[in-house]
Structure 1
Amino acid sequence: INHVTIEYTPAGKYFAVLNVDFEPEPRPNAGGTIGIDVGIKAFYSDSNGNTVSNPRYLERSMRKLIREQRRLSRKQKDSHNRGKQRLRVARVHEKIANQRNDFLQKQSTMLVRENQTICIEDLNVKGMIRNHKLAKSIASVSWAKFFEMLEYKASWYGNELHRVPTMYPSSQTCSSCGYRNPRIKNLSIRIWECPKCHAVHDRDTNAGINILKKALQMQSA
């Protein structure tokens, strides 16, 4: 142990954070290769045709959170009851954060165990949050934290993590023939047919396949 930091959380809990020397050992994996397209409705869709739903922990707890925040606003400032209610609000936030973190840890660990090569988009999440209509949903789904977990776990256990450029049109490109369809800029289009080769695509699965192809192409170049 190099040093210890004691943290006190807004929910009234104490934690000891240990800084230690750690040398991870490479772990065997199933040797798969996968491309991942993250989203808001579905947390991600992959190049194998799998979709993981967005658990929406914040949205599911919103009624309770609003109720507890209203109760807090009615309490007299600096009163004992206000302090107790502040803890109740903090505990709701803490539960949401713990649920989200548990989900992200399990998903990232599963991907690292099943795949040797993982390909993702190099998203500018901070820039995307500036869109006020999507900011709350993007913050709730925690793409940045998910990518961070994939990155350090891949580094620990000897996996490969590749990123494709942000502006790569993964959703608009036909994964069968490479034709780029500009009409697919509209997010409401979930299934589309390529006008050139007539292949029918699920928007998100198609994007996952293209992310995988592009990342492997960049590595071989």
Structure 2
Amino acid sequence: MVRGKTQLKRIDNTTSRQVTFSKRRSGLLKKAFELSVLCDAEVALIIFSATGKLYEFSSSSTNKTIERYQRNAKNHRIGHKAVEGNMQLRTQHFQKDASAMTKKIKLLEDHKRNLLGDDLESCSIDELEKIEDQLAQSLTDIKARKNQLLRQKIEKLKEEVEILAKENAELKKIEVQPLPPSVIRPEVHRRRISDVETELFIGPP
């Protein structure tokens, strides 16, 4: 018969609850002892029953184990606070960087609109002169780049013209060679050979 899974809830019957507490307490104390022996672990177990009775187990000393736990818990809290403080500083640093980046992007977008001729009403004379100078410099750079590309294209076309001229000259040098008579009229050549053989034949027919 398969044993059913025990439902975890408070046992209403007082006797059954006391029996279950006694059995499971013994098992828990035994497991704590086995863990301390098998794994060389420092184990301290404290149990209070429903009536307030104390049951405890310690592999060394309960008080020393509790003191060790308190020290480690304190160090953990200090370390956790240090990590939180560091995270807060990093978060503040990132927020400042993000704010500065947002302002920079906004300035660039405003400047871009100004270069395109938009939102010029709020610009001063000095700002308009700077924009005008930038546009003039940009136009100069664009023309220089355009001329460079045109020169490169012209040089490439000149090279192609030279290659085609050389190929044309080579084609003009080729002379058409006349074909031999045997190729032109092969039947005449064969007939002449047959006549010679007939004339030179000696002997009875």
TM-score (norm 1): 0.20
Larger-Rg structure: 2
Name the one with the larger helix percent. 2
Bigger relative CO (Cα 8 Å, ≥ 6 apart): 1
